[in-house]
Amino acid sequence: MTTPRISLDHVALQTAHFDEAIEFYTRILGATLLERRPFKRRRQAWLQLGAVKLELFSNREGEALSPWSDFTSGPVHLAVRVPNLDEFLKHALAAGAKFHPSHPEPFTPPVPGARPIAYLLGPDGEEVEVRDED
């Protein structure tokens, strides 16, 4: 039996900082806002980030989300590729982005053939990895 060909359609992120998340992913990372609307007891936005869509959900009305932590099950970070890391970081930092405290500057992972990467601080404290295209 052959495994069917699959591709990643979208990633859904829950955020306690809905408007800031839209701003971060559009202004800093260059995503395109496709749609923004109410969804059940939440707010929802669809963004296009390269070939993948990003679905943002706010917390439910009257409920609060726990702060982001790398001690919770689930995704560890979101990673994006850019044509030139140095040029992108100049743009991102000038637009207000900050490096994540866990990695306060670009670095090269200690593995053979690795290239420099950087981690930006996402709107909820999450790590957003940025790396050069291969």
Contact criterion met (CB below 8 Å) for 77 and 127? yes
CATH code of the domain made up of 77-134: 3.10.180.10
Instruction: Report the predicted TM-score, pTM, of the whole model to 2 decimal places.
Output: 0.88
The answer as to CATH 3.10.180.10 being correct for domain 7-61 is: yes
Which residues, 6+ apart, have CB-to-CB distance to 17 below 8 Å?
Answer: 123, 124
Full pLDDT tens readout for the chain, 134 residues? 777 787 788 999 999 999 999 999 999 999 999 999 999 999 999 999 999 999 999 999 999 998 888 787 777 889 999 999 999 999 999 999 999 999 999 999 999 999 999 999 999 999 999 998 87
CA-angle at 70, arms to 113 and 40, nearest 5°: 115
Query: b/e per residue, 84-96, with b = 16+ CB within 10 A?
Result: ebeebbeebeeee
Q: Which two tokens stand for residue 47?
A: 């963004």
Same fold, 7-61 and 77-134: yes
The full DSSP string for 51-81 is TEEEEEEPPPTT--PPPP-TTSSS-SEEEEE
d(CA 28, CA 43): 21
**C-alpha dihedral sign at 58, 126, 27, 81:** negative
18: three-class secondary structure by DSSP? helix
pLDDT at 52: 92
> Could you state, in order of their start, the residue ranges of all structural domains in the chain?
7-61, 77-134
pLDDT at 21: 96
